Amino acid sequence: MSSFGDDDFKRECPYCGEVLQRPYWKHIQSEHADEYAAKSTWVQLYKDYAGMGMDKTICLMVIGELFNAEPDEIESYLKENKIL
């Protein structure tokens, strides 16, 4: 059984559903440039992932992998916007 930390866990693009290859963020940067540039996208992704049952640490890790950002940066942004 796979967990979110396993290398064999498949990451899907949250915008088009394509299964991503590492580095995950390159697909989003090239195919969904507007979303990649907008940190506000992190808010909806966090809400979606948390709603699916992911805990905070996993949500931050996945968003970080998708956007080439540190989990601390994402957490700080979400706190500033009163999401956390």
- The pLDDT profile of the chain, 84 residues, written as one tens digit per residue, is 334 444 556 888 989 999 998 888 899 899 999 988 889 899 999 999 999 999 999 999 999 999 999 999 999 999 999 999
Distance CA 34, CA 31 (A): 9
Please state whether the predicted TM-score (pTM) of the whole model is above 0.85: no
Per-residue model confidence (pLDDT) at position 68: 92
Which residues form the domain of 74? 24-80
Q: Residue 47: which H helix or E strand, with range?
A: helix 40-51
What's the total number of domains in the chain?
Answer: 1
Q: Is residue 47 part of a domain?
A: yes
Q: Structure tokens of 39?
A: 């940190």
- Calculate the CA 57 to chain-centre distance: 11
Q: Is residue 74 part of a domain?
A: yes
